[in-house]
Amino acid sequence: MAEPEQLVVEAERQAGAAATLDELSAVRTAMTGKRSPLVAARKALGALEPDARKQAGQALNAAKAAIDGILSTREAELSAAARAERLAAERLDLTEVTEQPASGHLHVITQTWQELEDVFAGMGYRVAEGPEIESEWYNFGALNFPLGHPARDMYDTLYVDYGEPGSTLLRTHTSPVQARVMENQAPPVYVVAPGRCFRQDTADATHMPVFHQIEGLVVDRDTSLGDLAGTIEAFTAAYFGPGFTSRLRPSYFPFTEPSAEFDIQRPDGTWLELGGCGMVHPNVLEACGIDPERWQGFAFGFGIDRLALIRFGIDDLRELWTNDLRFLRQF
């Protein structure tokens, strides 16, 4: 008859070898079932002397308890493994992306702004910027608008409640950046300055109180009106492509002399007013510390929003601000 300790060792071995719950169940039957050596040993107890029976009975009980413990530990291990295997099989791989997630894109104005910077960078211009909240001096004074000059009234200015009344404003155009650049940089100067501008305007199809302009400024020796016209023509062709041309019409700005408006002609023959330009006024050069006897310059400024309108055939500026995705997704 097997010794109880040997039965425990055997149970340990077989339970460890069982690879599945089914196999373990067979081990359980073999080790503790009706026909197991354990049960046979227990039946044989009756033939022993009382003392020996008591001792052998205790040893068998201890062996039975040890074997039960071994079996239930192994059972817990195997069911945990089975569960892990089932979970692995049922697992959803959420990292697997079959479709591109929807992502946004740059607003049509931002695209236009960046494209304009690219076109001028390609023509050798640097990009400059200035503040949106500006002083009266840079927006008007340095640009040859004397105090009380009627031209100031053309600009429907929004003033900011800061400092002396009338001293601080939301810039009405990007031209103050001209003055800031000339103050800080010795000529030759080739810069463009795109940015946000503000005027007290009622929103309609072609006007918004907040809009964007891009300013151009060149200061060099022997710069002429011909250079200005050629630059605008070169820009028109580069940005709009063949079939578009430009023209200058005499106009007035305090900071340029002579001054012009410039229009571009679409392939269908129609003209569209785009912006203003001219030769930098000697007073402006002087106000910014540049000697007008030695240097000349030209400047131009036009609306980025209007440009996008022409380029993409949008018929109402307000569409750019309503953030209707059906509109924005077209660009």
Give the binding range for ligand PHE (CB under 6 A) out of 31-39, 87-95, 238-246, 295-303: 295-303
Minimum Å gap between C-beta 301 and ligand PHE is 3
Name which of 117 and 257 has its Cβ closer to ligand PHE: 257
CB of 136 to ligand PHE, least distance (A): 15
Indicate which single residue of 125, 140, 244, 253 sits in contact with ligand PHE (rule: CB under 6 A). Answer: 253
With 0-12 CB in 10 A as exposed, 13-18 as middle and 19+ as buried, what is 224?
exposed
Instruction: Read off the DSSP letter of residue 204.
Output: B
Residue selected from 130, 176, 275, 297 as contacting ligand PHE according to rule CB under 6 A: 275
The secondary structure of residue 158, as a DSSP letter, is -
83 — phi, psi (to 5°)? -65, -45
C-beta of 187 vs 275, nearer to ligand PHE: 275
Which of 235, 300, 304, 305 binds ligand PHE (CB under 6 A)? It is 300
The letter for the amino acid at 319 is E
Of the candidate spans 80-88, 182-190, 273-281, 311-319, the one that interacts with ligand PHE by CB under 6 A turns out to be: 273-281
Measured CA to CA, the distance from residue 77 to residue 312 in angstroms comes to 69
Helix, strand, or coil here: 281? Answer: coil
**Helix-then-strand count for the chain, H and E:** 11, 9
Contacts of 145 (CB under 8 A, 6+ apart): 151, 152, 254, 255
What region does 74 belong to: left with phi over 0, alpha with psi -120 to 50, or beta? alpha
What part of residues 170-209 is at the interface with ligand PHE (CB under 6 A)? 173, 175
Q: Residue 4 or 176: which CB sits closer to ligand PHE? A: 176
Nearer to ligand PHE, 194 or 301 (CB): 301
Q: Which is nearer to ligand PHE, 24 or 277 (CB)?
A: 277
- Told to check if 277 binds ligand PHE by CB under 6 A, we report yes
User: In terms of C-beta density within 10 A (0-12 exposed, 13-18 middle, 19 or more buried), how is residue 209 classed?
Assistant: middle
**Contact residues for ligand PHE (CB under 6 A)?**
173, 175, 215, 253, 256, 275-278, 299-301
